[in-house]
Amino acid sequence: MRTIGLIGGMSCESTAIYYRLINALVRERLGGLHSAKLLLWSFDFAEIERLQRPEGWDEAGRQLADAGRRLEGAGADCLLICANTMHKVAPAVAETARVPLIHIVDALGAELRQLGSRRPLLLATRYVMEDAFFKERLAARFRIEALVPQSDDRAALHRIIFDELVRGIVTQRSKAECLEIIAKARREGCDAVILGCTEFGMLLSSADMEEPVLDTSVLHARAAVDFALA
């Protein structure tokens, strides 16, 4: 079994989800008392959140790349950035690593292509929904153009993530708000829903909607286990 290196803490809620998912998948595939070989570098999310500004992304990239090098030095055979938003600096991590960086968009795109989805709705932080790094990789590698909610709804999703989910807060009011955003996209022809924030699985599930639901944290964890057990 290969060792998976997790660049986490962004937030600690989603990193705990990754840890649970990866270990559960290894146990499911190997049986018995098996669990994953993991190394974790966990950031203080407050320090990373302060860098999520135009003038701070380069420094964020340097810090995540340094974390990747430390994990590699400790024996990691691959790296995962345990957050969708921080894949904005994935190139900085990949450029300095000598082991593969398993990219969250690639795990998502492969699943969307298998489903035959052409118009998935992307629910995420405003960085993921509004910046180019996520949507352009999905379009360039998989020829899939993700839909995003309108401006007010993007602001609402960002608030739910940063004011609630990353703090471990889950409310029915926010769930209803998200489902209304999905209903609007359904009327516009979306054919799948991307949970493009690694905490969204705390709030939404496939039982809540009629479209296929793609939880990026689940797909990313599965891709890591595929690599570890190959």
The answer to whether residues 133 and 204 belong to one domain is yes
The answer to whether residues 51 and 154 belong to one domain is no
Range of the domain at 9: 4-103+219-229
What pTM value is reported for the model?
Answer: 0.95
The answer to whether residues 97 and 14 belong to one domain is yes
CATH classification of the domain holding 208:
3.40.50.1860
Of 121, 119, 85, the residue nearest 105 (C-alpha):
85
Specify the pLDDT at position 103: 98
Specify the pLDDT at position 13: 95
The answer to whether residues 86 and 113 belong to one domain is no
The answer to whether residues 29 and 92 belong to one domain is yes
Specify the pLDDT at position 29: 97
Specify the pLDDT at position 6: 98
168-198 core/surface letters (b: 16 or more CB in 10 A; e: else) = eeeeeebbebbeebbeebeeeebbbbbbbbb
Specify the pLDDT at position 151: 97
Q: Which residues pair with 8 in a beta bridge?
A: 42
Task: Please tell me the total count of domains within the chain.
Answer: 2
pLDDT below 50 — which residues of the chain? none
The answer to whether residues 141 and 183 belong to one domain is yes
The answer to whether residues 69 and 117 belong to one domain is no
The per-residue pLDDT for range 156-191, each reduced to its tens digit, is 999 999 999 999 999 999 999 999 999 999 999 999
Specify the pLDDT at position 51: 97
Specify the pLDDT at position 49: 96
The answer to whether residues 48 and 122 belong to one domain is no
The answer to whether residues 135 and 73 belong to one domain is no
CA angle 188, 190, 194 (to 5 degrees): 135
The answer to whether residues 112 and 18 belong to one domain is no
Contacts 24+ apart (CB under 8 A), 22-29: 22/221, 22/224, 22/225, 25/221, 25/222, 25/225, 26/1, 26/225, 26/228, 26/229, 29/225, 29/229
Specify the pLDDT at position 106: 98
The answer to whether residues 75 and 99 belong to one domain is yes
Specify the pLDDT at position 41: 98
Specify the pLDDT at position 202: 95
Specify the pLDDT at position 5: 98
The answer to whether residues 34 and 80 belong to one domain is yes
